[in-house]
Amino acid sequence: MVLPTTALRLFLLILSGLMADGDRSTESRDIQTLEVFPSEVQLSSKRSQRQLVVTARAADGTTWDVTSVVGMTLRDPELALITGTRLVPQANGRTLLTVTLGNARVEVPVSVTGQETEEQVSFRREVLVALTKQGCNAGSCHGAPDGKGGFALSMLAYAPEIDEESIIYGGLSRRITPLEPEDSLLLKKPLLQIPHVGGKRLQKTDAAWEILHDWIQQGAVADTVSAPACEGISVYPPGTRVLRLPGGRQQLSVMANFSDGSHRDVTAIATYATTNAEVLKVDDSGFVTGIQRGMAAITIRYLDDVHSVFFTVEQDREGFVWNGAPEAGDIDRLVNARLQQMQILPAERTDDAAFLRRAYLDLTGLLPSVDQVRAFHADPSDQKRSQLIDRLLASEEYSRYWASKSADLMRANQAAMPNGRAELFVDWLADSIHRNQPFDQFAEELLTAAGDASSTPAAGYFLAIPEREALAETTAQLFMGSRINCARCHNHPFESWTRNDYYSIAAVFARIRSEGSILSVQTSGEVTHPTTNAVMKPWGWKQMPGESADTTDRRERFSEWLTSPDNSWFARVEVNRIWAHLLGRGIVHPVDDFRSSNPPVNPELLDWLADEFRRVGYDRKHMVRLICNSETWQRSAAASEFNADDTSLFSHAAVRRLTAEQLQDAIGQVTRTVRPIQNLSAEIDRTQQELATASQSLQTAFPMWLEGMQKKLSDRECWQTMWMYSGVYAESDYDRAISMVYEPEAEQEANRLFAGGVRWIRKTDWLDGQQHAFPPSSPGAHYIARRIHASRPGKVVLEFGSDDGARAWLNGVQVLDKPQRRGIKTDEDRLELDLPAGASTLMFKVIDAGGYTGFACRLVSFDGVPIRELDIPLEIAELLQTAPDQFTPEQMELLQAVHRTSDAGLVGLTQRIRDQKRRLEYQTQRSVPEQNEFLMAFGQPRRESPCACERLSDSTIDQTLQILNGELVWNRTREAANHYAAFDNTAVAEEIYLSALSRFPTASEQQQIRTLLETTPNRQEALQDVIWAVINLQEFVFQH
Amino acid sequence: MNRFTRRNTLTLGVAGLSSFSAIRHVKAAQAAAQAKQVLVLFEQGGVSHVDTWDPKPSMPQEHASPFKTIATNVPGIFLTELFSKTARHADKLSIVRCMTQPTPGISNSHPKGSQYVFSGEAPGGPEEMPDIGTVVSYRLGTAARHLPAYIMVPGTDEQQENTRLGFLPPAHKVFKTGGQPHRPDWTVPNLGLLGIDERRFRDRRDMLSRLDVGIPGVQSLETGSLVSLREQAVDMLTNPGTRKAFDLQSEPQALREKYGLGHRGQCYLLGRKLIESGVRFVTIDCREPPASEYPGGSNMNWDHHDFIYSTGSTEIAGGGAGAGRWGIGTWPMMGSTDQAFAALLEDLHERGMLQDTLVCFVTEFGRTPRINERKGRDHWTHAFSIAFAGAGTPGGQVIGSTDQEGGFITSSQSYTLDDYAATIYQKLGMDLTEPLYTPANRPILLARKGKPIPELL
């Protein structure tokens, strides 16, 4: 903001002196004063002009816009024209503008200078702005990546140099005809004087017409290089505004500020849009009119700058009387203040049944058990709601369910985080929630994680998103609540995110490197801007004070910036997410789309929540507890005349369809086809005891086992260890990948292959004779190596095939050289190798040209005798060569561990405990939910995007087919009938309703179910039908 | 920024029927439409054009197709003998011999190439593009409320990954029948009552409507939409028309034999039945499933890198990536294709269905004019052929030409799969200048890189 303060400030120039009657025909309130912005008009060049904004003020301090109804006269009308409510200069001089409304009157000094000099129309500051205003360079028109009809512009003029080329020199120069400006295609097409696929886009009365016409007439030249750049816009009135209906309206005034310190009124050529056309409209001259009660923003664009003004439109509702709804704290106070302003009545507190079901579903994802429902209804305490909230917040189910919400957005799927890493990652998220790790510490731990993801699960976040641009987008969406992805290719259409911003966030991640399960941080690596090729300064550098050496992990400084108290995003984005999880809708909605053109529906509430979150040290559970204990969260879903139309201000509870996972679990719980979760901890204890007993007896059997194993091995003449894999050595082309000698090749000459610097990955699942794929490297090299043991010298035969070419070495001597490209064929190469007695090392290099790459290898025979697969773990086979008394304690421990894992009983118990802890039967609780038809139909996210919109909550025909006629529902209702068969015809209704709906059935419901059970000959089938019907009830499928 | 949002489209939307505004759009658009429905025959893997649509009798011997060039029922149009039955219907066909696929990186990939065919835009752009069928379902809806608007028959596991919903609402996702329609025990999952008869289903629904009083005091679009979708689902499950649309057994045996009793023939026949039942957009993607009668055939698509002229399996020593197929001239390949396609054209013609149905025979690219050292033909994107029939497409027409080896386009015009997509949209009367919007309000033009193929209009 570089405007001189005098121009910004609102000046009261002249009082009308007397309490005037005002203009009763347009305003019923008494006007005390008129205020004009600007207080003084300076028109200093031929092409300058000035928008006036006139505000009336009543004795009680209320203000309203009267720009469009005042009278305006110039003392010397020769000096300027009054066009609408704008002043346009004519001749040099000084005069006074008189503004009147009724008896109110004010005078504004006007000075006109510079009229003797012609002024060139600016290509960048005027022509491009005019094209944006007319929609020419919109993404769906000539701003599309390939333009339209052979005429391409940069979207919203983000690249003026492209537009210069296209307009001035493109189209065989027919687009502009300076000698006959009106013959220019640039004018004739949008005027529809000749056919234009885009239709009529321009009128001769538009400000844009004159700009384009005059610019062409002046010779259609580009701006000089030294032309000042726009540094921002200032909008009057600033901040938020209230419009009161009837009659609420507001004239805006927009000033652009340039790098040379000059300012220009751009009200007439800026582009305006409303965020909600039902509430607010705006015309081309920046005149805003309220339409009906509500909130909306007007977004103003001038070149790359986007600015929004928030409006609240007030309107009286007949018969509205505020009901003095109870308030449990600041949340309710702030929500109610907004409701009262909008004349919406809050709903009543919901009943115990709905509260109970809501609390369980929102906090744990599950339904309460029948016993829990009965106990809650029977509890007379008036503290029972807050006690329940505390209990649920402390539960393991809460942590696991809320972890899954984050996991959904962080690509915790088995493809992006393979080999059990997704499970570990989500377990880590759940643990963070369980111990209530402060959110800033959580973000920092996540965003600076490095190392092996199997021991540092957080590193999985970076491994799952290999591209730094995608990391920038994901991180911004998750922690800054911003969708910056538009700015990858062009400036954001509704926001000030530029490509510079985008690539400087990407630069934060320029130095991380992932290999297999390991994430490391390098000391070099840069991101350059794709068109300017400038090396980008990483985000956080400019934003934070102080110098920073660039050799440290850039992510640390970024996290520091992210979590610093000055960063307004951090706390707001997270509390808004928590709020949205609990209330079904964010205060900023969608939750990852914070921008000035998408204002919070209740800014005071969001500010308060963010302040509170910071105050308590980013304690997430505290925020959840606060919200759940509010009257706002505990409101009924029942709508009334005075709130039915409210969907965003939290006057009543939002009815929400259960999520895919919630629904499958709820059906499991009602049909008793999943184990009761409340019995789980006792079960885990029991299994742990069993495990302890079993381990004990195994310990005693260890020496015998060891002896047996060693005997087994010494009976073999030839055996081999499992494959070790080097990972990818990526290369620029195939030939280089062949000729380069990478680490493993070099190390083998020094005969330190398995002890050197190569980080070998043990491939326990690469079995002999099968085909195994490498991660594609397009192109690159991969090494695999193993040991072969022979009890005596002999000839071993093996078969090998690879995609593409390969080389092989036995004990450092090359035994295969087939580097040419090929497809995989499992027995393409047949090697006959002379083995010495003892251990030999066999290594292959597989060279990849791109696309699929992999190999197959099979040990066929030793001295003509076929070789059987070894049925003991290969990895310890070598270890077993040692005599029992020479094992180190570590080796002993390893062998014991192998012993334990070779015992089916023990393995089963260990697995059972892990599964029980991971609550595999429950989709809301699992680290990685199942992917089945039912869940997919109900919009289960694939965990491939950081957008909360990946989870679909809309109803579809697939869903109704699933729930009416799907296999899951059919199988489970059939099983459920067995469980409910034990209840008599009266009790069964109660049992099912408590389980499914957390409430007792009404007399009529009970009666209907009893009648059905009594009159149907096949009771089992009748029970199935009842359960089926309950599962299909709206009250079941929705939470309310 | 006052665009319709995904939300209000969906609350009103049911499968195949999108928002009211979209329906209004249909009326205006359909007035100019030449096609009401589209039937795509997607032959995946890259069909060798010089062996089928684009014969090259004067090719050097060592690279020539062994199949004879034959005349068709249109003087001056020639095909190879692998299309001897189809040749009798050349008067209904527009054969485009100047297809090309210029996007780098797509050519070597069947998944990307298939996705390109399905969505009409090379994958890898800033937004994931929905299938053409999904867009059509979203824009035009269906004429048959009891059936999905976009069906794929049967859709293999491989293609599961290549179809895309993109940014459109899930109600418009492709519905894949799965399975092997030629088998007598084949049923379509989820479209028949599971485990119970209609009478019991009706009783259940009666009870449900008595018990389901809604949620007290609640008036919500969400619950309302569930209830109306439930009615539609019940219609799909109990409407005899649904079963009939998929019931191949009800077709006369002679007609079934005419299409060919195997997998491909019956899939093509099912395509006609679904179009007849009002399905807006049907894709047949039906490589022969592995079966004992085709030993060695583990992946019977058209990816003939090896032994393209084998009279049986391509599982021959010395082969590579092209193993697992059968030679192009065998029954499970061109034999069944020629038979089924000819029968389909005749059948549609006799029923008068070619009037309003656009039929497209497509593949993702062609194959090399030269035969490689494994006696196969590799991928070739510089030139390949596809064919159209129906919906006002002029019959008996060849569009474009290639050199005498079929390697490069010699005609002044050349077309891409983007143009193919634009042609479909245009034929359906859809306005190519009216963009779709992503949930983030990004405008997306239909077939933005394509132009309708003028010779087909």
Block residue for tokens 């996991």: A407
Phi, psi (degrees; rounded to nearest 5) at A808: -140, 150
Backbone phi, then psi, for B388, in 5-degree steps? -130, 155
Residues of A in contact with B169 (CB under 8 A): 952, 954, 956
Return the minimum-mean-pLDDT range out of A7-11, A141-145, A171-175, A289-293: A7-11
SS (H, E, C) A898-962: HHHHHCHHHHHHHHHHHHHHHCCCCCCCCCCCCCCHHHHHCCCCCCCCCCHHHCCCCCCHHHHHH
Question: Which of B13, B211, B229 is nearest residue A1033 as measured by Cβ atoms?
Answer: B211
Structure letter (DSSP) for residue B16? T
What torsion, rounded to 10 degrees, do the Cα atoms B376, B378, B380, B384 define?
40
Residues B366-378, buried b or exposed e (16+ Cβ, 10 A)? bbbbebbebbbbb
Smallest CA–CA distance, residue A733 to chain B, in Å, is 16
Give the C-alpha separation, B44 to A794, whole Å.
50
Inter-chain residue contact B1 with A952, CB threshold 8 Å: no
The Cα–Cα gap between A248 and B58 comes to 81
Distances (CA, A) of A359 to A363, A585, A613, A636, A1033: 6, 16, 21, 13, 20
Cα–Cα dist A367/A925, whole Å: 13
Is the confidence at residue A64, as pLDDT, over 50? yes
Evaluate whether B431 touches B424 at the Cβ level (below 8 Å): no
When CB atoms are compared, the residue of B215, B230, B321 closest to A960 is B230
Tell me which of A505-509, A849-853, B287-291 is least confident.
A849-853
- Give the list of residues 6+ apart from residue B420 with CB closer than 8 angstroms, or none: B99, B117, B120, B360, B362, B386, B450, B453
Could you give the angle at the alpha carbon of A979 between the alpha carbons of A973 and A982, nearest 5°? 130
**Smallest Cα distance from B449 to chain A, Å:** 8
Contact between B255 and B269 (Cβ < 8 Å): yes
Please answer yes or no on whether B190 and A1025 come within 8 Å at the CB atom: no
DSSP assignment letter at A23 = -
Q: Where are the domains of chain B?
A: 6-210+224-456
Task: Report the pLDDT value the prediction gives residue B319, as an integer from 0 to 100.
Answer: 63
On chain B, the residues whose CB falls within 8 A of the CB of A960 are: 226, 229-230, 232-233
Burial A252-286, CB ≥16 within 10 A → b, else e:
bbbbbbbeeeebbbbbbbbbbbbbbeebbbbebbb
pTM value is 0.78
- Tell me which residue of A561, A574, A581 sits closest to A481, measured CA to CA: A574
Q: Does A308 touch chain B (CB under 8 A)?
A: no
The per-residue pLDDT for B17 is: 30
Binned at pLDDT 50, 70 and 90, residue A345 comes out as: very high
- Residues of B in Cβ contact (< 8 Å) with A145: 448
B102 secondary structure, DSSP code: -
Q: Quick one: A914 exposed, middle or buried, by C-beta within 10 A (0-12, 13-18, 19+)?
A: middle
What is the distance between the alpha carbons of residues A965 and B194, in angstroms, rounded to a whole number?
Answer: 6
Question: For B121, which DSSP code?
Answer: S
Substitution target in B12, B108, B164, B208 with the highest count of A β-carbons within 10 Å is B208
Least confident of A76-90, A737-751, B373-387: A737-751
Domains of chain A: 1-121 (2.60.40.1380), 123-217 (no CATH), 717-869 (2.60.120.260)
Residue A682's contacts (CB-CB under 8 Å, 6 or more residues apart) are: none
| pLDDT for residue A995 | 97
How many pairs of residues across A and B have Cβ atoms under 8 Å apart?
166
What are the tens digits of pLDDT across the range B346-393?
Answer: 999 999 999 999 999 999 999 999 999 889 999 999 999 999 999 999
**Chain B residues with beta carbon closer than 8 angstroms to that of A1021:** 200
Distance CA A405, CA A411 (A): 11
The runs of H, that is alpha helices, within B370-416 are none
Is pLDDT at A598 greater than 90 in this prediction?
no
A954: confidence class by pLDDT, cuts 50, 70, 90: confident
A40 band by pLDDT with thresholds 50, 70 and 90: very high
Which pLDDT band, with edges at 50, 70 and 90, does A516 fall under? confident
Question: Minimal Cα–Cα distance from A890 to chain B, Å?
Answer: 47
**pLDDT tens per residue across span A372-394:** 999 999 999 999 999 999 999 99
* pLDDT, greater one: A846 or A150: A846
Please give, one letter per residue, the 3-state secondary structure of B57-78.
CCCCHHHCCCCCEEECCCCCCE
Residues of chain A by 3-state class (helix, strand, coil), percent to 5? 35, 20, 45
**How large a percentage of chain A has pLDDT more than 70?**
95
A36 SS3 class: strand
Q: Which of A900, A914, A904 is nearest to A696 (CA)?
A: A900
- Beta partners for residue A724, in sequence order: A762, A785
Minimum-distance CB partner of A274 among B2, B220, B227: B2
**Which of A101, A94, A102, A118 has its CA nearest to residue A40?**
A94
CB atoms inside a 10 Å sphere around CB A395 = 18
Q: Of A148, A309, A190, A334, nearest to A240 (Cα)?
A: A309
For residues A774 and A516, what is the distance between their CA atoms, to the nearest angstrom?
11
* Cross-chain Cβ contact B443/A959 below 8 Å: no
Which tens digit of pLDDT belongs to each residue from A252-304?
Answer: 999 999 988 889 999 999 999 998 888 999 999 999 999 998 888 999 999 88
Lowest mean pLDDT among A69-83, A767-781, A959-973, B203-217: A767-781
Q: Prior bond to B216 cis, omega within 30?
A: no
**What pLDDT score does A699 carry?**
86
Neighbours of A447 (CB within 10 A): 23
Closest in A657, A822, A1025 to B204, CB measured: A1025
DSSP code at position B274 = H
pLDDT for A911-946, tens place per residue?
888 888 888 889 999 999 998 889 988 988 888 888
Of B227, B320, B440, the CB nearest to A822: B320
Distance of alpha carbon B334 from alpha carbon A246, whole angstroms: 74
User: What DSSP string runs through A664-727?
Assistant: HHHHHHHTT-S--GGGHHHHHHHHHHHHHHHHHHHHHHHHHHHHHHHHHHHT-SEEEPPEEEEE
Residue B159: the pLDDT is 56
Per-residue pLDDT reduced to its tens digit, A837-848: 888 999 999 998
Which distant-in-sequence residues (6+ apart) come within 8 Å of A907 by Cβ? A900, A901
Question: Nearest 5 degrees, angle CA A82-CA A86-CA A89?
Answer: 65
For residue A772, the number of C-alpha atoms closer than 13 Å in the C-beta half-sphere is 20
Is the predicted pLDDT of residue A12 greater than 60, yes or no? no
In order along its 457 residues, chain B shows pLDDT tens digits of 333 333 332 222 222 333 333 333 444 444 478 999 999 999 999 999 999 999 999 999 999 999 999 999 999 999 999 999 999 999 999 999 999 988 766 767 888 899 999 999 998 887 889 999 999 999 998 778 888 899 999 976 665 678 888 888 877 889 888 889 999 888 887 777 888 888 999 999 999 999 998 888 887 778 888 888 888 888 888 888 888 899 999 999 999 999 999 999 999 999 999 999 999 999 999 988 888 889 888 889 999 999 999 999 988 776 677 788 999 999 999 999 999 999 999 999 999 999 999 999 999 999 999 999 889 999 999 999 999 999 999 999 999 999 999 999 999 999 999 999 999 999 999 998 888 988 777 888 899 889 999 999 9
A352-364 helix and A396-409 helix, angle to the nearest 10 degrees = 60
Residue B228 confidence (pLDDT): 85
The answer to whether residues A719 and A756 touch, using CB atoms and an 8 Å cutoff, is no
Q: Which of A241-250, A792-801, A896-905 has the lowest mean pLDDT?
A: A896-905
* Count of beta carbons in the 10 Å neighbourhood of residue B146: 23
Question: Which pLDDT value is given to residue A845?
Answer: 94
Q: Which residues of B touch A1029 (CB under 8 A)?
A: 204, 207-208, 211-212
Which CATH topology does B6-210+224-456 take? Alkaline Phosphatase, subunit A (3.40.720)
